[in-house]
A and B are shown apart, each in its own frame.
Chain A
Amino acid sequence: MLGSDLQREVEELYNTYARVLDDGPLEAWPDLFTDPCTYQIVPRENFEADLPLAIMRCESKGMLMDRVHSVQETIVYEPRYLRHHITNISGTEVDGDLTVQANYSVIEVLPEELPRILSVGRYLDKVVRAGGQLLFKEKRVVYDSELVPNSIVFPL
């Protein structure tokens, strides 16, 4: 368990993370990571079988920026709104580095459709302090479902 000040600071990082992805600017998303870093979206099927494939895999701030750039410039997709809901944030600290786990769900709204759950699962993260602020050194998004409803355009 983290001390209450640290817990609050960690929760603020996740609040910022959700806000940046839901309301933008998307360019601010890579700034929440160290460089190098890892960001992966992993189907639970692969996670449990120890298979390395991630459906989104970034290994540096540059790759995060390339993903942002692609979402903004090259990928063709229907417009959509996303809302992240991050709960049950808990962590442990060893020598200042934090191992943090949280539940997440992301609700997606597409044109002419009712809201639906795009993804639900766990964040399995490593958080470190760099330049005075907490940043993600590792973020692993493990989604529970086998199926993805069509496409995941934005990071989870």
Chain B
Amino acid sequence: MTTSTTPLPHLNWPQGDVTTIPYALYTDPDIFDLEMARIFQGRGWSYVGLEVEVREPGDYLVTNIGNRSVVIARNQEGNLTGFANRCAHRGVKICRQRRGNTRMFVCPYHQWSYNADGELRGVPFIKGVKQQGGMPDDFERADYNLPKLEIETRNGVIFASFDTSTPPLEEYLGVTNTTWFDRVFDGRELKVLGYSRQLIPGNWKLMFENIKDPYHASLLHVFLVTFGLFRADQKSQVLMDDTGAHGLLISQRGEQKADESTRDITNLKENFELADPRLLDPVKEYDGDATVVMQTVWPNLIVQQQSNTLALRQIQPRGPGSFELAWTFFAYADDDEEMVTRRLRQANLMSSAGLVSTDDSEVIKLAQDGISAFQDESGTLLMGGKGTDNEQHMVTEAAIRAFYKHYRAVMEI
């Protein structure tokens, strides 16, 4: 763990302030390294996959926690395991396939082999060849097991942590976020519809800020506003947990009309009608009025329910100015064909070619482009006041402020 004496660039950030955000947080390599250590390798549950992706003993998948590659596997006893994807010998990345099934993970370099618990099982020439070479007598295989991950699952979703002191998932999420998490992940078996991965040339925090920001959604996303899927005048809530780490944006569909809430949108297309309305043919599938719920789970997950399109968006930072956004679109195993088709059609709104999310990836790039030459300056988060508490409307940046409240605590800056 990096200590708080790590030299940081001078941050012009008044103690406790979450209404100005120094641009250096998005560009500085030392900040990035500290984030990887304190946030992604520290206390916290990172989303790593779904149980249906590693259903059978021997099944595994490769993903990232922060910038570290990790393997999530199901061992021969049927338990989920996780370990760092790098050999204890020379640091080589062991597993290069996205997913598969194996009894042993064998490093390609010197063929050290590990079982699904990341325990070193085989070292070629350990006793030498013809009485020559070999490992010293005090070499113990058990000293070279791979760094293990803590694992928790909730209704089919797998979380992992490098830190053994992370509190249980339910406590970590808090009551409100657990309740909403369970709305989508209600225990029904899930079915993966497919993946989509994009490399976004911006800082990873910009993605969280984007999802925690309902102010932009009612302005930037002309498609959403045009079709009434997200508008500033809809009944909405912005909810946080006690720490500010996790957040929820909850809203409900309105109508296609122009009024006060759309007045400031210069390019609203009031008369845009779909030539094929099957693209947007949402049906109600959950109790309550909410038709869009975007949940952000510290430090790497966005759970998306927009109408009938369901996805987990996993944030994998690559460096200060770049992150992979890995989308897993899913359905419920008991969905009928019509529902699956509906979800696949609505997926047109999302990911790298999304009628809506393209706006976000494009704007995140422009934010990074803008910020990078002004590292000594700061951005502003004053919409809806200075508070970090729950709100019952969309014209607020409270959830982003709450995020930075937690960020400052974890980063100790």
Give me the interface of A with B, judged by CB distance under 8 Å: 41, 43, 45-46, 49, 51-63, 65-67, 69-70, 73-78, 146-153
With A57-B347, A63-B276 already in contact, the answer to whether A78 and B193 are too (CB < 8 A) is no
Task: Contact check, A73 vs B194: say whether CB atoms are below 8 A apart.
Answer: no
Task: Contact check, A151 vs B358: say whether CB atoms are below 8 A apart.
Answer: yes
Question: Please, which residues of chain B bring their CB within 8 A of the CB of A146?
Answer: 98, 197
Task: Contact check, A74 vs B199: say whether CB atoms are below 8 A apart.
Answer: no
Hey, what's the 0/1 contact readout for B350-373 against A, CB within 8 Å counting as 1?
011111001101110110000000
Question: What is the bound-complex CA distance between A62 and B347, given in angstroms?
Answer: 17
Task: Contact check, A76 vs B222: say whether CB atoms are below 8 A apart.
Answer: yes
Question: What is the bound-complex CA distance between A125 and B348, given in angstroms?
Answer: 20
Task: Contact check, B362 vs A78: say whether CB atoms are below 8 A apart.
Answer: yes
Choose, from B124-132, B163-171, B266-274, the stretch at the interface.
B266-274
Question: What is the bound-complex CA distance between A75 and B314, given in angstroms?
Answer: 23
**B406 interface hit (Cβ, 8 Å):** no
Task: Contact check, A150 vs B365: say whether CB atoms are below 8 A apart.
Answer: yes
Give residues 192-211 of B contacting A (CB, 8 Å). Answer: 192-201
Shortest Cβ gap from A79 to chain B (Å): 11
Shortest Cβ gap from B365 to chain A (Å): 6
Give me the interface of B with A, judged by CB distance under 8 Å: 98, 192-201, 220, 222-223, 226, 267, 269, 272, 274-276, 278-279, 324, 329, 340, 344-345, 347-348, 351-355, 358-359, 361-363, 365-366
Question: Please, which residues of chain B bring their CB within 8 A of the CB of A67?
Answer: 348, 355
Given A53-B195, A62-B275, 6 additional A-B pairs, CB 8 A: A53-B347, A63-B275, A66-B274, A66-B276, A70-B223, A150-B361
Task: Contact check, A74 vs B353: say whether CB atoms are below 8 A apart.
Answer: no
Task: Contact check, A69 vs B351: say whether CB atoms are below 8 A apart.
Answer: no
Q: Rank and list the top 9 A-B pairs by shortest CB-CB distance, nearest first.
A: A53-B194, A62-B276, A62-B275, A51-B194, A148-B352, A46-B194, A74-B222, A152-B353, A74-B223
Question: Please, which residues of chain A bring their CB within 8 A of the CB of B352?
Answer: 55, 148, 150-152
- Across the interface, B355 reaches (CB within 8 A) one of A62, A75, A147, namely A75
Task: Contact check, A53 vs B359: say whether CB atoms are below 8 A apart.
Answer: no
Question: What is the bound-complex CA distance between A99 and B275, given in angstroms?
Answer: 28
Question: Please, which residues of chain B bring their CB within 8 A of the CB of A55?
Answer: 196, 347, 351-354
Task: Contact check, A74 vs B226: say whether CB atoms are below 8 A apart.
Answer: yes
Question: What is the bound-complex CA distance between A49 and B345, given in angstroms?
Answer: 19
Shortest Cβ gap from A41 to chain B (Å): 6
Question: What is the bound-complex CA distance between A57 and B366, given in angstroms?
Answer: 27
With A53-B194, A55-B196 already in contact, the answer to whether A151 and B276 are too (CB < 8 A) is no
Question: What is the bound-complex CA distance between A58 and B348, given in angstroms?
Answer: 9
Question: What is the bound-complex CA distance between A147 and B196, given in angstroms?
Answer: 8
Question: What is the bound-complex CA distance between A66 and B358, given in angstroms?
Answer: 16
- Across the interface, A66 reaches (CB within 8 A) one of B192, B200, B201, B275, namely B275
Shortest Cβ gap from B291 to chain A (Å): 19
With A75-B358, A150-B201, A152-B352 already in contact, the answer to whether A52 and B194 are too (CB < 8 A) is yes
Task: Contact check, A77 vs B358: say whether CB atoms are below 8 A apart.
Answer: yes
Shortest Cβ gap from A12 to chain B (Å): 27
Task: Contact check, B269 vs A73: say whether CB atoms are below 8 A apart.
Answer: yes
Q: Can you show 20 pairs from A to B with CB atoms below 8 A apart?
A: A41-B353, A52-B340, A52-B344, A53-B344, A60-B276, A62-B274, A66-B276, A66-B279, A70-B355, A73-B272, A74-B272, A75-B358, A76-B359, A76-B362, A77-B358, A78-B362, A146-B98, A149-B198, A150-B200, A150-B352
Question: Please, which residues of chain B bring their CB within 8 A of the CB of A62?
Answer: 274-276
With A53-B347, A56-B348 already in contact, the answer to whether A43 and B195 are too (CB < 8 A) is yes
Question: Please, which residues of chain B bring their CB within 8 A of the CB of A60?
Answer: 275-276, 278
Question: Please, which residues of chain A bring their CB within 8 A of the CB of B362?
Answer: 76-78, 150-151
Task: Contact check, B355 vs A74: say whether CB atoms are below 8 A apart.
Answer: yes
- Across the interface, B193 reaches (CB within 8 A) one of A53, A58, A75, A153, namely A53
Question: What is the bound-complex CA distance between A53 and B362, given in angstroms?
Answer: 22
- Across the interface, A43 reaches (CB within 8 A) one of B196, B279, B347, namely B196
Question: Please, which residues of chain B bring their CB within 8 A of the CB of A63?
Answer: 275-276, 278-279
**Which residue of B has the minimal Cβ distance to A75?**
B358
Shortest Cβ gap from A39 to chain B (Å): 11
**Which residue of B has the minimal Cβ distance to A76?**
B359
Task: Contact check, B195 vs A148: say whether CB atoms are below 8 A apart.
Answer: no
**Which residue of A has the minimal Cβ distance to B355?**
A70
Question: Please, which residues of chain B bring their CB within 8 A of the CB of A151?
Answer: 198, 352-353, 358, 361-362
Task: Contact check, A46 vs B195: say whether CB atoms are below 8 A apart.
Answer: yes
With A75-B223, A150-B361 already in contact, the answer to whether A51 and B279 are too (CB < 8 A) is no
Question: What is the bound-complex CA distance between A58 and B365, given in angstroms?
Answer: 27
Question: What is the bound-complex CA distance between A67 and B222, given in angstroms?
Answer: 14
Shortest Cβ gap from B163 to chain A (Å): 28
Question: Please, which residues of chain A bring their CB within 8 A of the CB of B222?
Answer: 73-76
Question: What is the bound-complex CA distance between A52 and B223, given in angstroms?
Answer: 24
- Across the interface, B197 reaches (CB within 8 A) one of A70, A78, A147, A153, namely A147
Question: Please, which residues of chain B bring their CB within 8 A of the CB of A77?
Answer: 358-359, 362
Question: Please, which residues of chain B bring their CB within 8 A of the CB of A56?
Answer: 348, 353
Shortest Cβ gap from B413 to chain A (Å): 29
Question: Please, which residues of chain A bring their CB within 8 A of the CB of B193?
Answer: 51-53
Shortest Cβ gap from B338 to chain A (Å): 13
Shortest Cβ gap from B217 to chain A (Å): 12
